[in-house]
Amino acid sequence: MSRSAHPAGPRHADVLPEGHYTAPPADLNSLDSRVWAQTVERTPEGAVAVGGLDVRRLAEEFGTPAYVMDETDFRARCRAWRDAFGSDADVYYAGKAFLSRAVVRWLHEEGLNLDVCSGGELATALDAGMPAERIALHGNNKSDEEIERAVEAGVGRIVLDSFQEIARVAHTAARLGRRQPVQIRVTVGVEAHTHEFIATAHEDQKFGLALAGGGSSSEAGEGPAAEAVRRVLMLDSLELTGIHSHIGSQIFDMAGFEVSARRVVGLLTRIRDEHGVELPEIDLGGGLGIAYTPEDDPREPHEIAKALGDIVTRECEAAGLAVPRLSVEPGRAIAGPTAFTLYEVGTLKELEGLRTYVSVDGGMSDNIRTALYDAEYSVALVSRASAAEPMLSRVVGKHCESGDIVVRDAFLPADLAPGDLLAVPATGAYCRSMASNYNHALRPPVVAVRDGQARTIVRRETEEDLLRLDVG
């Protein structure tokens, strides 16, 4: 996001600290379609509605804070990704973004596959009826129990992340009399343009097996990844179906995928030349970014599909390889834009010449991303319209941490008052998944809205839930 002082006029314009703010919007009541779910609109009465339901009614029925998910938008995004890649590719929704039994059913009905990375996610997928052959199991340290359950269920692929895991999966599959399809996750030495903690393709991190030896990424096939391929191909209980790469998250630039594909194809070429095997699939992972603020400019699924397809085809043709089946793993790109978090304003503290601190009834327990990644979000007054002047604000939570910030810098109406409802869009991915009970906060519900109907798909935690786990 650009950093520029706003013009004179808004409150606190005389002294502006360095921050992540832009000029205030011309209309504080407008809702930018780039960051809000598709059925979100402001009604003639001034409040905001989603799926035909007024947020004031949702707050009254379900309480705040609450994650409000536009089911129509979620399903539409599933179809957009499925249609963009077509029958020659596979789209795996990355369950780590947000997973529930309802979401699994939506994915199944809309024709997407599912990527899980823990026993809990696998249990949710199977319990909700996702066919096991459409499930992929990820993770850098899968337990014996997770591996056994995955093999026993017949998951469509297990993504291998280490030499030890090759042996463990092979042993489990042999004991169960199965031949388990697997892929090898490789690190390709690409520094994705993203936060350090969500860049996952450089060598100095916990995921995958490096293509290159000695820390150099210049030549594919010289390092641990090639050795992993050799070991898997020697084991009768494993079927190597492809190579997996994931370069990071919240990425807008396709250049990293081009470098990744080129290096993965280099490994495929070496596998063909040394082992006489052409692997049928490349998985380029996910990580495609979404718009958290109007300044973000993500690509549409059909643009991404064409770009990735062209990259893989070009690299394979240059290497003399048959073009393998492509798979991708959007998670944030599907779930993120479909939901907003609904809060009630509590206290307001004006710091003269600086900003106003707006405290809401949630915080870092329901959205840790601002504190963890310095993530930026938008926010709007949604219980009414306002003609007041813009006020430079910082939306903060109720936790005992100075870093408990939801939206670092935003413009809200100067007549904001306790009891007003605020909504933070693009919180469908990672917010509920990473939610915590810090300060013994109760994790909010997830409310799905569609065609004028709302229902809880993940209920609000209660004090009884907390005390039930406290057995001391």
How many helices, marked H, and strands, marked E, lie in the chain? 12, 21
Structural contact between residues 161 and 185, judged by C-beta atoms closer than 8 angstroms? yes
Closest residue by Cα to residue 221 from 183, 289, 274, 267: 267
Q: Is the dihedral of CA 302, 307, 313, 317 positive or negative?
A: positive
Q: Is 101 annotated as a binding residue?
A: no
Q: What ranges in 3-97 are assigned the alpha helix state H?
A: 55-62, 71-85
Tell me, what DSSP letter sits at residue 104?
H
Structural contact between residues 239 and 180, judged by C-beta atoms closer than 8 angstroms? yes
Q: Is 373 annotated as a binding residue?
A: yes
Q: What token pair was written down for 43?
A: 């009604």
Q: Is 455 annotated as a binding residue?
A: no
Q: Residue 254 carries which side chain, given as an amino acid letter?
A: M
The total of other beta-carbon atoms located within 10 Å of residue 331's CB is 25
From the centroid of its chain, how far is CA 46?
A: 31
Closest residue by Cα to residue 137 from 168, 182, 188, 104: 182
CA distances from 344 to 62, 332, 366, 424 (A): 12, 25, 14, 11
Helix axis angle for 71-85 and 301-319, nearest 10°, is 30
Q: Is 34 annotated as a binding residue?
A: no
Contacts of 286 (CB under 8 A, 6+ apart): 94, 246, 249, 328, 329, 330, 331, 332, 333
Spatial separation of the C-alpha atoms in residues 169 and 150, rounded to whole Å: 10
Q: Is the dihedral of CA 16, 19, 22, 27 positive or negative?
A: negative
3-state secondary structure of 235: coil
Q: Residue 466 carries which side chain, given as an amino acid letter?
A: L
Structural contact between residues 159 and 138, judged by C-beta atoms closer than 8 angstroms? yes
Q: Which residues are catalytic?
A: 400
Structural contact between residues 285 and 233, judged by C-beta atoms closer than 8 angstroms? no
Q: Is 332 annotated as a binding residue?
A: yes
3-state secondary structure of 225: helix
Binding-site residues sit at: 287, 329-332, 369, 373, 401, 430
Binding-site residues for substrate sit at: 332, 369, 373, 401, 430
Binding-site residues for pyridoxal 5'-phosphate sit at: 287, 329-332, 430
